[in-house]
Amino acid sequence: MKVTVIGAGNMGSAFVKQLVRAGHQVSVTARDSAKAAQVAAANPGAKAVATVGAAAGADAVVLATGYADALSALRSVGDLQGKVVIDITNPLTADYMGLTLGHSTSAAEEIAKALPGAEVVKGFNTVFASVLAEGAELGKGQKVTVFVASDGARAKQTATELARSIGFDVVDAGGLKNARYLEPLAGLNIYLGYGAGLGTSIAPTWIRKA
């Protein structure tokens, strides 16, 4: 698949690493082009691309910026009409211990509202960057879950295929509205990792009796 990753930070670089390994054609763009170039250089096969037009030809665009930068970043990469946008953001407060919105909306729904032509899917927001970078198995063969929520079948299918291609289990979490559950779930994960001191080699997963 052709994937454009916006953002070359913790999550962006981990996506580039895993997606290249899985054989996808990966472009990365960042506000600071040197950072994108650095991530591409560390992951042979990935391409650092200019922001303008970065979405052209992509089957999926991974939004790996902070939520506050989401719309400006998405608008900067070109026409997103009909594009699958994977929103991994969490609308965190400055101390990372709360959310700036929720209950009656979510970051994903706000992004979808602002970009009506794009097919937005929430996903990967409950996966710590270190887990993404290190791989989808956490001990004893237990695969980490990626929850996907979207109103678009193609967007959900695309995010599902990408997540499975890099080794994750996928749980269909329903419509985009359910990002209202997934963003607080990430908040709990962040609390457990940082606030409660469990560290970042943890992840919420969903199991059922075999």
Ligand X SMILES: NC(=O)c1ccc[n+]([C@@H]2O[C@H](COP(=O)([O-])OP(=O)(O)OC[C@H]3O[C@@H](n4cnc5c(N)ncnc54)[C@H](OP(=O)(O)O)[C@@H]3O)[C@@H](O)[C@H]2O)c1
For ligand X, the binding residues (CB under 6 A) are 6-12, 30-32, 35, 64-67, 69, 72-73, 76, 88-90, 92, 125, 127-129
- Minimum Å gap between C-beta 165 and ligand X is 19
In this complex, which beta carbon is closest to ligand X, that of residue 30 or of residue 108?
30
Overall size of the chain counted in residues:
210
In this complex, which beta carbon is closest to ligand X, that of residue 7 or of residue 209?
7
- Of all residues in the shown chain, the one whose CB is closest to ligand X is 9
Report strand pairing: 169-172 vs 145-150. parallel
User: What spatial distance separates the first Cα and last Cα of the chain, rounded to whole Å?
Assistant: 32
- Minimum Å gap between C-beta 208 and ligand X is 24
Query: Of the candidates 31, 33, 37, 29, which has an alpha carbon nearest to the alpha carbon of residue 6?
Result: 29
- Minimum Å gap between C-beta 106 and ligand X is 13
In this complex, which beta carbon is closest to ligand X, that of residue 206 or of residue 209?
206
In this complex, which beta carbon is closest to ligand X, that of residue 17 or of residue 35?
35
Contacts made by residues 73-76, CB under 8 angstroms, sequence distance 24+: 73/6, 73/7, 73/31, 74/6, 74/111, 74/115, 74/118, 75/115, 76/51, 76/52
In this complex, which beta carbon is closest to ligand X, that of residue 108 or of residue 208?
108
135-143-19 Cα angle (round to 5): 35
In this complex, which beta carbon is closest to ligand X, that of residue 75 or of residue 209?
75
Report strand pairing: 145-150 vs 119-122. antiparallel
CB-side neighbour CA atoms (13 Å) of 13: 14
What is the spatial distance between Cα 97 and Cα 133, in angstroms, rounded to a whole number? Answer: 23
- Minimum Å gap between C-beta 55 and ligand X is 12
C-alpha torsion sign, points 174, 180, 183, 186: negative
- Minimum Å gap between C-beta 210 and ligand X is 29
- Minimum Å gap between C-beta 70 and ligand X is 7
